[in-house]
C-alpha cells in the first residue's frame, strides 16, 4: 500500500515551501536594507584634520589644558604674595575716642572728650630668613606649574592620538567589511540567477543571502564604531561635532644608539615634572634651618591727634627696630622638618620608579614594533592568499566544481584575513606611538 501523496498535494506542498522561503528571503532583505539605511543617517564629520593639526588643536583648545594653565596664574599670585612679605609696606590707622567727659585745667584742655587720631606704620624687613625662603620656594612652584601644563598637554596629545589612530583603523575595518559585503552580494546575485535558471537551489540562495545579511550587519557595526571615534576626536579638539582623520601619521623611530641614558629624562614631560617636584621638595627641606633665624623689622610711625592734649604734642613720630627670636616651640619646627623629609623621600622614590618604568617601556615598545612589523607582513600574506582562494573558488563555483558552502567559507576567510590586516596595521602604529611616547619624542 503506497503512502505517497498525490501529485497535486506534492505541488501544493512545494508551492507552500517556496512561498515560505520567499517570505524568509524578503524578511532578510528588508533587514539588510534597514541596516544599510541606518548606516546612511549617521552624522557627517563637521571638520577634517590631519594628525599634526588634531594634536595642536587639542593642546590649544582642550578645557583640560586651560584648567592646568590656571595653575600657572595661581603660582604667579603666590610668588607675588611671598615677595610682598619681604618688601616695604605701609599701613594707616584711624581711631576715634569718646569719653564720658573731658578734663579741663585753667581753661586748657587736658583730655578732650572727643578725639581723632591718625597714624601711619611704615615697615621694612631687615632680616627675614623664612620669608626669603618662601619667596624662592614659590618660584620653584611656578616652574612645577609650567611643567605640569606640559604634562597635561602630553596626556591630551596621547588621548588625541589614540582617537585619531582608532579612526584610521576603523576606516580600514569599514573598507574590509564593505568589500566582504559586496562579495557576498555578488555571490547572492549569482545564486539567485542560477536558481531562476533552474541550475541552482533555493538552499544555496538562502545561504548566500544569509552571509550577505551578516556582512551588512558588520558594516553597520563598523560604521557606528567609526562614528564614535570621530565624536571622541571632536571632543578632544573642542569641535562642534565629530571630527574625521584625513591622513595616516608617519611615526619616525629614532635609532637605539641615538638615545642617551637615562632614556627620555631630557624629553619626557612627566619625568621633568617629577624631577622639578623633587628639587622643590629638597629646597624646602634645606630651608628648614631658616625657621630658626631671628626676624628684624624696621618701623617708622608718624601720628597726629585732634584736638591736641595739654601734655602731649599734636603731631609726633617714632622710629624703632623690632627683633623676634624663636626660642621654644614645643617641637613644632622639628615635626615640620620631618614632614618635609618625607616629602623628599616620596618625590625621590616616585621619580626613581617612573624612570625605571620608562626604561622598561622603551625596551617593550621596541620589541613590540619589531613584532608588529613581522605580524603585519604575515597578515598581508594571509590576506593575499585568502583573496586568491576566494577568486578561485568563485570561478570553480561558476564552473560547477565547487559548492556553495565552499564559496561562503572562502568569503568569510577573506573577510577575516582583511580584518586581521587592519588589526595588525593598527597594532604596529600604536607600537610606534608607544615607543615615541616612552622616548619622550611625542608630542
For the full predicted model, state whether its pTM sits above 0.85.
no
Q: Return the closest-CA partner of residue 270 out of 438, 140, 414.
A: 438
Range of the domain at 351: 20-327+334-439
Banded pLDDT at 352 (limits 50, 70, 90): very high
In a domain, 5, yes or no: no
Banded pLDDT at 9 (limits 50, 70, 90): very low
Whether 146 and 97 have beta carbons less than 8 Å apart is answered as no
Banded pLDDT at 386 (limits 50, 70, 90): very high
CA distance 427 to 443: 19
pLDDT of residue 17: 42
In a domain, 181, yes or no: yes
pLDDT, tens digit, for every residue of 249-270? 888 887 764 555 554 556 788 9
* Mean predicted confidence (pLDDT) in 346-356: 94
Whether 216 and 188 have beta carbons less than 8 Å apart is answered as no
- On the question of pLDDT at 247 being above 80, the answer is yes
In a domain, 8, yes or no: no
pLDDT of residue 27: 35
Half-sphere exposure of 292 toward its Cβ, with a 13 Å CA cutoff?
11
CA distance 230 to 46: 10
Whether 351 and 376 have beta carbons less than 8 Å apart is answered as no
pLDDT of residue 31: 42
pLDDT, tens digit, for every residue of 132-148? 999 999 999 999 999 99
User: If you average pLDDT over every residue of the chain, what do you get?
Assistant: 85
pLDDT, tens digit, for every residue of 36-79? 444 456 788 889 999 999 999 999 999 999 999 999 999 999 89
pLDDT, tens digit, for every residue of 168-186? 999 999 998 998 899 889 8
In a domain, 7, yes or no: no
pLDDT of residue 318: 92
* Mean predicted confidence (pLDDT) in 407-426: 90
Could you give the 3-state DSSP secondary structure of residue 245?
Answer: strand
What CATH number did the domain enclosing 433 receive? Answer: 1.20.1600.10
CA distance 201 to 186: 16
In a domain, 1, yes or no: no
Whether 117 and 95 have beta carbons less than 8 Å apart is answered as yes
Question: How many structural domains compose the chain?
Answer: 1
In a domain, 432, yes or no: yes
In a domain, 2, yes or no: no
> Does residue 27 have a cis peptide bond before it, meaning omega lies within 30 degrees of 0?
no
> CB pairs under 8 A, 24+ apart, for 103-112?
105/310, 108/310, 109/307, 109/308, 109/309, 109/310, 110/309, 110/310, 110/311, 111/309, 112/307, 112/309
Length of the chain: 443
* Mean predicted confidence (pLDDT) in 346-368: 93
In a domain, 103, yes or no: yes
Amino acid at each position: 500500500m503506497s503512502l505517497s501523496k498525490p501529485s497535486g498535494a506534492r505541488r501544493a506542498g512545494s508551492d507552500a515551501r517556496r512561498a515560505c522561503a520567499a517570505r524568509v528571503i524578503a524578511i532578510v532583505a528588508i533587514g539588510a536594507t534597514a541596516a544599510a539605511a541606518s548606516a546612511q543617517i549617521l552624522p557627517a564629520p563637521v571638520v577634517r584634520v590631519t594628525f599634526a593639526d588634531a594634536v595642536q588643536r587639542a593642546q590649544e583648545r582642550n578645557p583640560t589644558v586651560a584648567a592646568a594653565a590656571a595653575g600657572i596664574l595661581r603660582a604667579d599670585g603666590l610668588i607675588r604674595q611671598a615677595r610682598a612679605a619681604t618688601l616695604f609696606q605701609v599701613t594707616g590707622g584711624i581711631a576715634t575716642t569718646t569719653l564720658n567727659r573731658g578734663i579741663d585745667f585753667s581753661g586748657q584742655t587736658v583730655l578732650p572728650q572727643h578725639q581723632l587720631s591718625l597714624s601711619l606704620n611704615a615697615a621694612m624687613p631687615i632680616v627675614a630668613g623664612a620669608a626669603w625662603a618662601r619667596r624662592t620656594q614659590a618660584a620653584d612652584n611656578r616652574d612645577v606649574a609650567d611643567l605640569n601644563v606640559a604634562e597635561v598637554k602630553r596626556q591630551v596629545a596621547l588621548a588625541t592620538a589614540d582617537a585619531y589612530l582608532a579612526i584610521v583603523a576603523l576606516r580600514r575595518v569599514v573598507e574590509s567589511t564593505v568589500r566582504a559585503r559586496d562579495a557576498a552580494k555578488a555571490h547572492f546575485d549569482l545564486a539567485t540567477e542560477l536558481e531562476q535558471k533552474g541550475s541552482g537551489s533555493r538552499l544555496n540562495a538562502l545561504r548566500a543571502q544569509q552571509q550577505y545579511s551578516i556582512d551588512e550587519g558588520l558594516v553597520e557595526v563598523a560604521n557606528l564604531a567609526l562614528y564614535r571615534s570621530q565624536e571622541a576626536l571632536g571632543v578632544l579638539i573642542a569641535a562642534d561635532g565629530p571630527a574625521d582623520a584625513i591622513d595616516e601619521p608617519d611615526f619616525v623611530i629614532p635609532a637605539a644608539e641615538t638615545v642617551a641614558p637615562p632614556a627620555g629624562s631630557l624629553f619626557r614631560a612627566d619625568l621633568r615634572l617629577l624631577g622639578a617636584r623633587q628639587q622643590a621638595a629638597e629646597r624646602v627641606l634645606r630651608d628648614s634651618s631658616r625657621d630658626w633665624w631671628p626676624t628684624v623689622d624696621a618701623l617708622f610711625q608718624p601720628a597726629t591727634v585732634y584736638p591736641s592734649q595739654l601734655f602731649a604734642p599734636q603731631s609726633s613720630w617714632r622710629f624703632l627696630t623690632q627683633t623676634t627670636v624663636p626660642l621654644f616651640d614645643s617641637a613644632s619646627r622639628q615635626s615640620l622638618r620631618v614632614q618635609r623629609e618625607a616629602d623628599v623621600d616620596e618625590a625621590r622614590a616616585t621619580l626613581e620608579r617612573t624612570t625605571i618604568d620608562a626604561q622598561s617601556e622603551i625596551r617593550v615598545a621596541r620589541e613590540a614594533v619589531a613584532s608588529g612589523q613581522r605580524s603585519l607582513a604575515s597578515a598581508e600574506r594571509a590576506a593575499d592568499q585568502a583573496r586568491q582562494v576566494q577568486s578561485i573558488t568563485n570561478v570553480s563555483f561558476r564552473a560547477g566544481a565547487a559548492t556553495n558552502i565552499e564559496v561562503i567559507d572562502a568569503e568569510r576567510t577573506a573577510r577575516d584575513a582583511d580584518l586581521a590586516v587592519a588589526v595588525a596595521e593598527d597594532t604596529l602604529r600604536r607600537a610606534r606611538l608607544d615607543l615615541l611616547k616612552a622616548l619622550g619624542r611625542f608630542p
